[in-house]
Structure 1
């Protein structure tokens, strides 16, 4: 019993350490569609795709953290469950925020594409 408790505590500590390693990417600066050139819009598209790839890695890191924390909260010793639940909540909140931020970046870039097309018909 003590051995399994030590393993679970070790998992919790590892989850906490992993949380420190999960670094959210910075959202790109988007071009202003109404005043940008096609080149600038393509650079903006590339920046968005790079951001999305980095955000996917970040979310995968968070998924590992909240999965490990969930397991520790369910299977760990009672005195470690509160910390595991806190780690789980923080990782889930960060994950949901990352999803929302990526959706916002994509929506903002799509708005700039529409503005570019309106300013440059044909």
Structure 2
């Protein structure tokens, strides 16, 4: 199906929380950057739905990428180092995954992958 026709089984509050965290991270990375941009796109790839959040912010160093999902690791003055860990757990509870790619000075791309709903086969509720 086209992205606008795709349906996934998910927890709306959990997905909202995950997206809010990823977009907030992107917005923080754009501080003091010329031409700040955040894009959110959706795609269907086989039986999976992708939600992609991209920014042209400061990006991350290799060391920062290696510690992304380490509890309490943060580069932010106000951060606690748990945001991405919580986000990944919320997505995992929906049988999804979170991948993050980043290049220092270029930006970051976060991709949420969720399985498409098979409502005809399972009778499960669509959201």
**Fold in common (TM above 0.5):** no
TM-score by length of 2: 0.30
Instruction: Identify, as 1 or 2, the structure richer in helix.
Output: 1
Higher relative contact order (CA 8 A, sep 6+): 1
